[in-house]
């Protein structure tokens, strides 16, 4: 089955109101944002929505209004959910996936460049800055295979073997079914990622199984596959098996959307990782 979406929440929607065996869903509101926690509990659930056993959380944030503040309810909601899904302690490697030269695919590398890397800040300096208790963080963008000759997964695996983080966070642009979700939904899960799976161009899986440490994946949908878009508009699901045309649908304001989503994601990750630093100070530290 071809879902043409990376979002667990959209895959569940296919089943409508009816309960899906092996999939538990909880919806609530916090910080003025709608939060949906989906738990895939067994193989039946795995098969139904095509996602491995694990936890999938979606935060629907306020629309990125043109002049929105960065430190607002959305940030608090995303930060809180990230903090809940990552290990409470331990060092981390943040890897930005995707192609920085394709605007809707640039979320990962842009976000990686705004992560507050701390792994190299040692003893004296730490004390001098008064940041005694920083979590050990490293960060980089994986680049794309056409330019590096290596899969994103290989780049992460190599880094993990040398930097030896306790876990990995990947950040990637996702594909959604609904254009309304673009730039307005943050999904996070504890099962890793198969990059490109939402647009029919699957790459090597990046997960505990392939990398050796837990992988938390965070993403924001930035495109709708053109075939899925048409099928939705037609209201005819069967047509989705078509080619996809090699085309994608994005908002006309895609550059603004990516800019805001990268900043929100990076700031939320930074705040989730370093709870002792206030969002205001973090914004300054990484500006």
Reference 135, options 198, 75, 92, 189; nearest CA is: 92
Residue 87 and residue 167 in contact, taking contact as beta carbons nearer than 8 Å: yes
Token representation of residue 3: 């879902």
Binding mask 192-231 for a second copy (x = CB under 8 A): -------x-x----------------------x-x--xx-
Q: By CB under 8 A, which span of 37-45, 56-64, 75-83, 141-149 interacts with a second copy?
A: 141-149
- Cβ burial of 203 (10 Å; 0-12, 13-18, 19+) is middle
Q: By CB under 8 A, which span of 10-18, 22-30, 31-39, 160-168 interacts with a second copy?
A: 160-168
* Cβ proximity to a second copy, 35 vs 277, nearer residue: 277
Q: By CB under 8 A, which span of 40-48, 114-122, 166-174, 187-195 interacts with a second copy?
A: 114-122
Cα 59–Cα 42–Cα 187 angle in degrees, nearest 5: 15
Query: Which parts of 227-286 interact with a second copy (CB under 8 A)?
Result: 229-230, 233-234, 245-255, 263, 284-285
For residue 55, the SS3 value is: strand
Token representation of residue 118: 């701390």
- Cβ burial of 50 (10 Å; 0-12, 13-18, 19+) is middle
Binding site for a second copy (CB under 8 A): 67-70, 99, 101-103, 113, 117-120, 129, 136-141, 143, 145-151, 154-155, 157-163, 179, 199, 201, 224, 226, 229-230, 233-234, 245-255, 263, 284-285, 287
């Amino acid at each position: 089955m071809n879902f043409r979406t990376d979002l667990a929440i959209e895959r569940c929607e296919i089943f409508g109101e009816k309960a899906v065996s092996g999939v538990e869903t909880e919806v609530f509101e916090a910080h003025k944002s709608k939060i949906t926690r989906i738990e895939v509990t067994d193989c039946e659930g795995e098969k139904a929505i095509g996602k491995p056993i694990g936890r999938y959380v979606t935060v629907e944030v306020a629309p990125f209004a043109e002049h929105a503040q960065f430190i607002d309810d959305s940030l608090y909601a995303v930060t809180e959910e990230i903090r809940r899904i990552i290990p409470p302690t331990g060092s981390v490697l943040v890897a930005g996936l995707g192609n920085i030269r394709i605007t809707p695919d640039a979320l990962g590398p842009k976000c990686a460049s705004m992560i507050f890397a701390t792994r190299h800040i040692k003893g004296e300096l730490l004390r001098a800055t008064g940041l005694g208790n920083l979590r050990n963080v490293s960060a980089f963008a994986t680049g794309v295979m056409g330019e590096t000759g290596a899969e994103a997964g290989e780049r992460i695996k190599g880094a993990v073997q040398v930097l030896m983080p306790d876990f990995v966070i990947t950040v990637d642009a996702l594909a959604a079914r609904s254009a309304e979700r673009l730039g307005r939904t943050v999904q996070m899960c504890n099962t890793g990622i198969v990059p490109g799976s939402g647009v029919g161009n699957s790459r090597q899986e990046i997960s505990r199984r392939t990398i050796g440490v837990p992988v938390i994946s965070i993403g924001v949908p930035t495109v709708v596959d053109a075939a899925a878009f048409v099928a939705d508009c037609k209201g005819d699901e069967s047509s989705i098996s078509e080619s996809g045309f090699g085309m994608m649908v994005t908002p006309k304001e895609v550059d603004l959307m990516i800019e805001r989503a990268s900043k929100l994601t990076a700031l939320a990750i930074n705040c989730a990782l370093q709870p002792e630093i206030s969002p205001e100070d973090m914004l300054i530290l990484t500006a």
